[in-house]
Chain A
Amino acid sequence: MSKGKKKPKADTTRRNFLAGIAGMAGVSLASGVTLFSYAEAKAPGEAVSSKVRWGMLIDINKCADGCDKCVSACFKENGIGNTGNPATDPQWIRKIEVRNPNTSATESLPVMCQHCAKPPCVDVCPTGASFKRDDGIVLVDKHICIGCRYCMMACPYKARSFVHEDITDQKPYVPRGKGTVESCTLCVHRIDAGGIPACVEACADSAGGAMLFGDLNDPNSEISKRVAKYASRQIRADLGLDPGVRYRGL
Chain B
Amino acid sequence: MRTLGYQLALSILATTVLLSGSSVHGADGVPLPKVPKALEKAEKGHAELMRLKHMDLMRHQRDETVHKGIRTKQYSLKACISCHAVPGPDKQPVSITSPKHFCRACHDYAAVKVDCFQCHASKPPSSVNLKQPLSNQIQGFLRR
Contact = CB atoms under 8 A, between A and B. Distances in A.
B62 A143 contact: yes
Q: Is the interface of A mostly helix, strand, loop or mixed?
A: loop
A170 B69 contact: no
Nearest to B128: A172
Interface in A99-142: 131, 133-135, 139, 141-142
A147 B37 CA distance: 37
B121 A175 contact: yes
A178 interface: yes
Contact of A192 (B69, B81, B124): B69
A142 B119 contact: yes
Contacts of B63: 143
Contact of A189 (B64, B73, B125, B144): B144
Interface residues of B, number: 22
B119 A46 contact: no
Nearest to B68: A47
A169 B121 contact: yes
B119 A170 contact: yes
A178 B117 CA distance: 11
B144 A133 contact: no
Interface string B48-80: 000000000000001110111111110000100
A46 B70 contact: yes
Interface string B72-101: 110000100100000000000000000000
A131 B120 contact: no
Nearest to B69: A48
A45 B70 contact: yes
Contact of B119 (A139, A180, A189, A192): A180
Interface residues of A, number: 30
A143 B116 CA distance: 9
B144 A177 contact: no
A171 B125 CA distance: 8
Given A172-B124, A172-B144, A131 B119 contact: no
A178 B118 contact: yes
A15 interface: no
Contact of B121 (A134, A170, A189): A170
Contacts of A169: 121
Contacts of A176: 119
A42 interface: yes
B70 A193 contact: no
Interface string A180-219: 1000000011101100000000000000000000000000
Interface of A: 42, 44-48, 131, 133-135, 139, 141-143, 167, 169-173, 175-178, 180, 188-190, 192-193
Interface of B: 62-64, 66-73, 78, 81, 118-121, 124-125, 141, 143-144
23 contacts: A44-B71, A44-B72, A45-B72, A47-B70, A133-B67, A135-B69, A139-B66, A141-B67, A143-B62, A143-B66, A170-B119, A170-B120, A172-B141, A172-B144, A175-B120, A176-B119, A177-B118, A177-B119, A178-B118, A180-B119, A189-B144, A190-B144, A193-B144
